[in-house]
């Protein structure tokens, strides 16, 4: 609820009830507030969004930017200099929380230099009442606080703030609806994230996501297809379909659809060249999905398949609903059906009760599957999750030792997997000028591996063929080949 505040009486009769019409109304209204703000600043007001966490948050930030640019804000250089600063927060692990508090502390000192600055916080951490209470008390410079379920409402909240001149808080405990057709600004003109579902119903015992992102809700296939078609009209050739668990997509729809069925439809979109998706929960990965990936070359040869642990005992405690053996069988099946598929994973080390023998099981899976890449995390205790209450919490020093063992095993495996491509000719979607050398451009293979090839800006957003000549562990130096 919005802190007991309401719009001016005279504004009310025209405010549309329906979304997104209501938000377009507020974007128009906000233009007036913005010009007053820019006059006070004596320059066109700028914005900057700092995004923590996952691809979901990155996509949400694109929508926030879309709303702000529709109102008329212009992109600013940094959070230190911009006038309207948003932090889109993450709370999946404690270090994400701490990074935010560090940044807020820094801006507190800047308050006197930039008295007109507006600071907004949104995202997962804001769905935690204790964090919001702490922020309200300790960071008076924060002006607008909203959560994960109402990012589409930024224009409305900005109007309310501009009108009231005091802090606005609007956090919904649960999602009320999916609001379609909110504007967005893409970081890359040629690729885009596309949400297919929101929230998560899996309740892995260590994870806070189901509590802060709510129950799983799927978008209607027609809305997804329409969004992708529009994106392709606008120059997008690669999409990343986003959901906490894409494999359970469509279950709650009035006309249930499976994820493979959705993929088949998306693959028909002529102008679309590449389809990626994440994340796949191993318990819901079907034979049909394996078939659809195998049969559609547009679907990228990359599957992110979080293992979390290789010990069946720990997997049960994690509430993952698969075993070491069933994960291995699935991975082997994937390798057999689609040999060129890259499999990447997430691994947590130091889950309550985890012993060295459990980590040995994880190492065994790493060696057998030979992951192409892995994100390795030290378990972070999240308040009010079942794992936080479990006995035998592992001391940090012990987790560090086991973490290093896991890290070196995944690095060794992914180096070996990457090297297997040496000498092959593959397609690279060029994304940007290389960081290392401006006479090179960098892009990604279908497998998601980074390749640097000689070339200039004109190649950005195009797919080129390259010989993968030099493997440097996690990336290649390639030579261009004519198609």
Q: Binds 281, which of ligand 5AD, ligand SF4, none (CB < 5 to 8 A, cut-off by type)?
A: ligand SF4
Dihedral in degrees, nearest 10, Cα atoms 430, 434, 439, 440: -50
Cα–chain-centroid distance for residue 456? Answer: 29
According to the binding rule CB under 6 A, does residue 127 interact with ligand SF4?
no
- Give the Cα-Cα-Cα angle 448, 453, 459 (nearest 5 degrees): 85
| Tokens representing residue 264 in the block | 């088949």
Q: Where are the beta strands (DSSP E) in 362-483?
A: 373-378, 425-433, 440-444, 450-454, 463-471, 475-481
Pick between residue 25 and residue 211 the one whose CB is nearest to ligand SF4. 211
Residue 384 burial by CB count (10 A; 0-12/13-18/19+): exposed, middle or buried? exposed
Q: Which residues contact 254 (CB under 8 A, 6 or more apart)?
A: none
According to the binding rule CB under 6 A, does residue 348 interact with ligand 5AD?
yes
Q: Candidates 195, 197, 245, 385: give the one binding ligand SF4 (CB under 6 A).
A: 245
Q: Are strands 84-89 and 118-123 parallel, antiparallel or unpaired?
A: parallel
Cα–chain-centroid distance for residue 345? Answer: 15
Q: Candidates 382, 417, 444, 452: give the one binding ligand 5AD (CB under 6 A).
A: 382
Pick between residue 245 and residue 414 the one whose CB is nearest to ligand SF4. 245
Closest CA to 55 of 257, 307, 242, 254: 242
Number of H helices, E strands in the chain: 13, 19
Pick between residue 331 and residue 348 the one whose CB is nearest to ligand 5AD. 348
The two most distant CA atoms of the chain are separated, in Å, by: 70
According to the binding rule CB under 6 A, does residue 410 interact with ligand SF4?
no
Q: Candidates 69, 220, 288, 346: give the one binding ligand 5AD (CB under 6 A).
A: 346
Pick between residue 64 and residue 208 the one whose CB is nearest to ligand SF4. 208
CB of 308 to ligand 5AD, least distance (A): 6
Q: Is 333 strand, coil or helix?
A: helix
# residues near ligand SF4 by CB under 6 A:
10
Q: Candidates 26, 379, 403, 475: give the one binding ligand 5AD (CB under 6 A).
A: 379
Pick between residue 208 and residue 477 the one whose CB is nearest to ligand SF4. 208
The footprint of ligand SF4 on residues 147-206 (CB under 6 A) is 200, 202-204
The footprint of ligand SF4 on residues 260-319 (CB under 6 A) is 281
# residues near ligand 5AD by CB under 6 A:
12
H helical segments located in 189-258? 209-213, 221-233
CA distance 2 to 154: 12
According to the binding rule CB under 6 A, does residue 49 interact with ligand 5AD?
no
Pick between residue 387 and residue 409 the one whose CB is nearest to ligand SF4. 387
CA distance 317 to 307: 14
Q: Binds 210, which of ligand SF4, ligand 5AD, none (CB < 5 to 8 A, cut-off by type)?
A: ligand SF4
Q: Candidates 59, 93, 153, 320: give the one binding ligand 5AD (CB under 6 A).
A: 93
Q: What is each CA distance from 6 to 2, 22, 47, 159, in whole angstroms?
A: 8, 15, 25, 11
Burial 219-234 (b: 16+ CB within 10 A, else e): bebeebbebbbebbee
According to the binding rule CB under 6 A, does residue 474 interact with ligand SF4?
no
Q: Which stretch binds ligand 5AD (CB under 6 A): 149-157, 180-188, 377-385, 468-476?
A: 377-385
Dihedral in degrees, nearest 10, Cα atoms 10, 13, 19, 22: -30
Q: Candidates 20, 44, 72, 210: give the one binding ligand SF4 (CB under 6 A).
A: 210
Pick between residue 60 and residue 156 the one whose CB is nearest to ligand 5AD. 60
Q: Binds 377, which of ligand SF4, ligand 5AD, none (CB < 5 to 8 A, cut-off by type)?
A: ligand 5AD
Q: Candidates 86, 90, 92, 430: give the one binding ligand 5AD (CB under 6 A).
A: 92
CB of 244 to ligand SF4, least distance (A): 4
According to the binding rule CB under 6 A, does residue 380 interact with ligand 5AD?
yes
Q: Which stretch binds ligand 5AD (CB under 6 A): 262-270, 318-326, 379-387, 398-406?
A: 379-387
Pick between residue 216 and residue 426 the one whose CB is nearest to ligand SF4. 216
Q: Which stretch binds ligand SF4 (CB under 6 A): 45-53, 157-165, 168-176, 207-215?
A: 207-215
Tell me which H or E stretch contains 99.
helix 94-109
Query: Is 77 in contact with 193 (CB distance < 8 Å)?
Result: no
| Tokens representing residue 115 in the block | 């008295």
Binding site for ligand 5AD (CB under 6 A): 92-93, 206-207, 306, 308, 346, 348, 377, 379-380, 382
Binding site for ligand SF4 (CB under 6 A): 200, 202-204, 207, 209-210, 244-245, 281
């Amino acid at each position: 609820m919005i802190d007991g505040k309401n719009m001016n009486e005279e504004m009310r009769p025209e405010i549309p009830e329906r979304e997104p019409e209501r938000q377009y109304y507020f974007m128009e209204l906000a233009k007036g507030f913005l010009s007053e703000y820019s006059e006070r600043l004596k320059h066109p007001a700028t914005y900057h969004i700092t995004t923590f966490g996952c691809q979901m948050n990155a996509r949400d930030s694109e929508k926030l930017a879309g709303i702000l640019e529709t109102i008329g804000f212009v992109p600013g250089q940094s959070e230190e200099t911009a006038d309207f600063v948003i932090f889109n927060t993450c709370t999946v692990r404690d270090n994400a929380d701490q990074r935010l508090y560090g940044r807020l502390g820094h801006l507190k000192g800047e308050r006197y230099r930039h008295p007109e600055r507006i600071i907004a916080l949104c995202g997962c951490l804001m769905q935690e009442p204790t964090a919001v209470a702490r922020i309200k008390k300790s960071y008076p410079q924060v002006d607008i606080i909203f959560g994960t379920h109402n990012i589409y409402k930024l224009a409305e909240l900005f109007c309310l703030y501009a009108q009231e001149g005091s802090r606005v808080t609007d956090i919904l405990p649960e999602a009320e609806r999916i609001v379609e057709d909110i504007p967005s600004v893409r970081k890359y003109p040629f690729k885009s994230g596309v949400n297919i579902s929101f929230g998560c119903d899996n309740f892995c015992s260590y994870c806070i996501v189901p509590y802060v992102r709510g129950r799983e809700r799927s978008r209607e296939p027609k809305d997804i297809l329409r969004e992708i078609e529009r994106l392709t009209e606008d120059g997008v050739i690669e999409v990343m379909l986003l959901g906490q668990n894409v494999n359970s997509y469509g279950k709650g729809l009035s006309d249930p659809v499976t994820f493979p069925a959705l993929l088949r439809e998306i693959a028909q979109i002529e102008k679309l060249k590449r389809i990626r998706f994440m994340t796949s929960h191993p318990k819901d990965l079907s034979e049909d999905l394996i078939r659809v990936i195998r049969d559609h070359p547009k679907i990228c040869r990359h599957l992110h398949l979080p293992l979390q642990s290789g010990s069946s005992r720990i997997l049960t405690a994690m509430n993952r609903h698969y075993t070491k053996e069933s994960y291995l069988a699935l991975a082997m099946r994937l390798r057999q059906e689609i040999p060129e598929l890259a499999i990447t994973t997430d691994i947590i080390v130091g889950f309550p009760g985890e012993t060295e023998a459990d980590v040995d099981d994880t190492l065994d899976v790493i060696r057998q599957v030979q992951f192409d890449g892995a994100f390795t995390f030290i378990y972070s205790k999240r308040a009010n999750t079942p794992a936080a209450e479990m006995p035998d919490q592992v001391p940090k020093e012990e987790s560090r030792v086991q973490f290093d063992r896991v890290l070196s095993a995944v690095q060794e495996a992914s180096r070996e997997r990457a090297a297997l491509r040496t000498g092959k000719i593959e397609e690279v979607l060029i994304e940007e000028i290389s960081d290392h050398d401006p006479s090179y451009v960098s892009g990604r293979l279908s497998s998601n591996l980074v390749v640097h090839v000689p070339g200039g800006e004109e190649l950005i957003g195009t797919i080129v063929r390259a010989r993968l000549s030099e493997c440097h562990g996690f990336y290649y130096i390639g030579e261009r080949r004519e198609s």
